Chain A
Amino acid sequence: MAVAAPPVPVRSRGRGRRQWGDLLTGYAFVTPNLLLLVLFLFVPLGWAFVLSFQEVGSFGPATWIGLDNYRQLVGDPVFWRTLLNTAVFTATTVPTSVAIGLALAVLLNRALPARGVFRTVIFLPIVISGLVTSLIGLLMFGEGVGIANGVLRALGFDAAPWQTNGPLAMTSLVLMTLWTRVGFAMVVYLAALQDVPRELYEAAQLDGARPWQQFTNVTVPSVRATTLFLLVVNVIWSFQIFDVVYVMTNGGPGYDTSMLVTYAYDRGFGPSHLYGYGSTIGIVLFLLTLALTVVQLRLRRSGEGGL
């Protein structure tokens, strides 16, 4: 408030004009983006809540059905199955990709012949689209001409039912997902390792710490914030998995690899066009993401307190 009473009147007039100008510029600069956000994020989010209380098909008017969609969801064994599948997929892909990423980053952090080539090759799959990844996955794990089975046979094993056995189908999804994720974790860790002070390692060496002890006592705690970030990002990616599942297994066999997003897509855009029910699954996905973000913020705060 005190700022509003400047000592020199001339400056006050200039400042007033500038305030007015800044207000106009501010909103002029923000408006195009705000329009996009409102039309395609805010309104759809509110609308998703509305739809989740309605029964809507592609034809005819919507009818309010209160909490029926949610009641149906709670009693829907397929929903619980997709939730479990998504949890299993997340619990296997996330720690594995982060751990392998860290291991590779540590190996590549010191001088090594052809280090740049290794880094490029391991990081490269990140630019390959989910759809191409999925098609490669089919080429690898298809039961007909699949390469994995060709290799198994050549080594004298039996061909594995990668698509007709639930756990094996899930394994093939996890492997292809790891292929695209490991490089990201590695690169982010490589950046973080640059900031770990050399003196910490020197001090550890003076104390007689072996390489493994240096890793667990210096490296791991030093990149804790990065690990947390990678965990959160990967959890969110895994929760929203669609492309590989849709193309490689289409949720099958049965519902053995059906995920939250593929199920929501199925209900909303499949032959039944259950927009209300599909949106209800979407709301669950949103709330889960929100909960994960809150957990992340808590962890980060407690992490800072602990340092």
Chain B
Amino acid sequence: MRTWLRVLICSVAALVMVFPVYCMVVVSLTPKSELFSSGAHLWPQQFTLVNFTDLFARFPLGAWFTNSVLVAAITTVLSVTVNLLTGYALAKVRFAGRSVLFLLVLSTLMIPTQAIMIPQFRMVTGLGLYGTFWAVILPSAATALGIFLARQFMLSVPDELLEAARVDGAGNLKIFVRIVLPLSKPLIAVMTLLAFMGQWNDFLWPLITLKDPALYTLPVALRFLQGQFDQNYGGLMAMALMASLPLVVLFLVLQRYFVEGLARSGIK
């Protein structure tokens, strides 16, 4: 195929992909009066930052951002830590019951969380966690995929390396911290990104488990704002833009890891 034709097709595809984002940005900068009198324009007659300042004045944006950062960060640290530990044990420590455990983990790969959201909700309520961040964090930290990725990665760490350390008198914990963790940096990067992005963007589970608007994470807050704003897309898009920006920046900086991570979470 001719190069110009390929460039043309790819340009059209890129424009289609950018168009919704462009609309989000433009509408967030359009005054409310213009939106209501003549609808959204692809190029507004007037630009304004009122939609943004109005949001800050009326809603606890700082709290919502802090909530999202806290919840996503704690989930990420927790799930990456327990997954690395489990991955190491399943890949490099020989103990009775190991293969049974691995089979158990594999079997949970097939449980869609949406299918068990009602008993999960009752479990969280029964543990007295309903309405707290832990209700959001703990169930999300239990991921079979993370264990699976960690185990597969650690299988590739050469046994000779670990044996050499063992001869020098190092125990499992020391080997794990001093040798395996430094070698696992790419794995940790990928797992961190996947966990953080998953939790930052999650909507259904926080929607079920959080009740106090002051504790909302960004997606639930957006849904709440949708009710407040009704047809005022200016404010809504301003908030949507701000909620998306951190991940977009992270993505542009660490694109390589995103690509690798998402490809690996798929191709086993």
* A interface residue numbers (CB < 8 A to B): 19, 21-23, 25-27, 29-30, 32-34, 36-37, 39-45, 47-48, 51, 104, 107-108, 110, 112-114, 117-118, 120-132, 135-136, 138-140, 142, 144-147, 150, 179, 182-184, 187-188, 191-192, 211, 226, 229-230, 233, 236, 239-240, 242-243, 246-247, 261, 264-265, 268-269, 275, 278-279, 282-283, 285-286, 289-290, 293
Of B44-52, B55-63, B183-191, B240-248, the one with at least 4 CB within 8 A of chain A: B240-248
The answer to whether B101 and A30 have CB atoms under 8 Å apart is yes
How many angstroms from the CA of A293 to the CA of B39 in the assembled complex? 46
5 of the cross-chain contacts (CB-CB < 8 Å) are: A33-B86, A112-B6, A132-B24, A132-B244, A145-B35
Q: Which of A25, A114, A240, A290 contacts B95 (CB 8 A)?
A: A25
B119 in the interface, Cβ–Cβ < 8 Å? yes
Residues of B within 8 A of A27 (CB): 95, 97
The 8 A CB mask of B68-96 against A (1 = contact, 0 = none) is 00000000000001110110111001111
The answer to whether A229 and B201 have CB atoms under 8 Å apart is no
The answer to whether A118 and B10 have CB atoms under 8 Å apart is yes
The answer to whether A44 and B120 have CB atoms under 8 Å apart is yes
Interface residues of B in 1-18 (CB under 8 A from A): 1, 3, 6-7, 9-11, 13-14, 17-18
B219 in the interface, Cβ–Cβ < 8 Å? yes
How many angstroms from the CA of A104 to the CA of B85 in the assembled complex? 39
* B interface residue numbers (CB < 8 A to A): 1, 3, 6-7, 9-11, 13-14, 17-18, 20-21, 23-24, 27, 35, 39-42, 81-83, 85-86, 88-90, 93-98, 101, 104-105, 108, 110-112, 114-123, 127, 138-139, 141-142, 144, 147, 171-173, 176, 197, 200-201, 203-204, 208, 218-219, 222-223, 226, 231, 233, 236-237, 240, 243-244, 247-248, 250-252, 255, 258-259, 262-263, 266-267
How many angstroms from the CA of A247 to the CA of B95 in the assembled complex? 48
The answer to whether B7 and A33 have CB atoms under 8 Å apart is no
The answer to whether B237 and A139 have CB atoms under 8 Å apart is yes
Residues of B within 8 A of A226 (CB): 267
How many angstroms from the CA of A217 to the CA of B71 in the assembled complex? 49
> Main SS of chain B's interface residues?
helix
A279 vs chain B, min Cβ distance (A): 5
How many angstroms from the CA of A289 to the CA of B108 in the assembled complex? 12
How many angstroms from the CA of A275 to the CA of B101 in the assembled complex? 31
How many angstroms from the CA of A129 to the CA of B207 in the assembled complex? 14
Given A112-B3, A242-B204, 11 additional A-B pairs, CB 8 A: A32-B82, A107-B10, A114-B7, A122-B17, A127-B251, A131-B240, A136-B237, A184-B262, A187-B259, A191-B263, A285-B115
The answer to whether B267 and A286 have CB atoms under 8 Å apart is no
Q: Which of B24, B116, B139, B142 contacts A33 (CB 8 A)?
A: B142
The answer to whether A118 and B244 have CB atoms under 8 Å apart is no
How many angstroms from the CA of A22 to the CA of B95 in the assembled complex? 6
How many angstroms from the CA of A239 to the CA of B115 in the assembled complex? 11
The answer to whether B105 and A37 have CB atoms under 8 Å apart is yes
Q: Given contacts A150-B39, A275-B118, is CB(A128)–CB(B86) below 8 Å? A: no
How many angstroms from the CA of A275 to the CA of B111 in the assembled complex? 18
The answer to whether A289 and B110 have CB atoms under 8 Å apart is yes
Residues of A within 8 A of B98 (CB): 26
Q: Which of A30, A37, A139, A279 contacts B27 (CB 8 A)?
A: A139
Q: Given contacts A33-B82, A130-B201, A145-B39, is CB(A44)–CB(B23) below 8 Å? A: no
The answer to whether B89 and A30 have CB atoms under 8 Å apart is yes
The closest CB in chain B to the CB of A130 belongs to: B203
Q: Given contacts A139-B27, A188-B267, is CB(A37)–CB(B40) below 8 Å? A: no
Residues of A within 8 A of B9 (CB): 107
The answer to whether B101 and A121 have CB atoms under 8 Å apart is no
The closest CB in chain B to the CB of A226 belongs to: B267
